[in-house]
Amino acid sequence: MTLKACKKEEKMDREFQKKFKFEGSIKVLTQMMVDPAATEKRGGAKNLPLRPGEILDVIQFTSQEQILCRNSQRRYGYVPRAVMLPL
């Protein structure tokens, strides 16, 4: 990984921590897959855009309805638990 890419990832992680008021280090708890039968959803202010069959890193189980996740492009956001499947 180049120095430029590393600095970009660090900046994205800092922005994530500020936006979601997340304290501490960012650790991946597990990986889950978006239900292949789910319809594609656009992201919102704090919601992550979803693609059916996509594998997401779970950062935090926030509530019974939502999970805080990161996608392969290192974008963060909330995802409804109803569309997530364990690997």
What span, in angstroms and rounded, lies between the C-alpha atoms of 86 and 35? 9
Which one is predicted more confidently, 79 or 38? 79
- Whole-structure pTM value: 0.82
Q: Give strand pairing partners of 30.
A: 58
Residue 84: closest CA among 62, 11, 13:
62
Domains of the chain: 23-86 (2.30.30.40)
Q: What is the pLDDT of residue 1?
A: 64
What span, in angstroms and rounded, lies between the C-alpha atoms of 33 and 17? 23
Look over the chain and give the mean of its residue pLDDT values, rounded to a whole number.
Answer: 87
* Residues near 9 by beta carbon (within 8 Å), at least 6 away in sequence: 74
Q: What is the pLDDT of residue 13?
A: 86
Per-residue pLDDT of 40-53, as tens digits, reads 777 777 888 888 89
Find the angle CA(84)-CA(82)-CA(73) to the nearest 5 degrees. 40
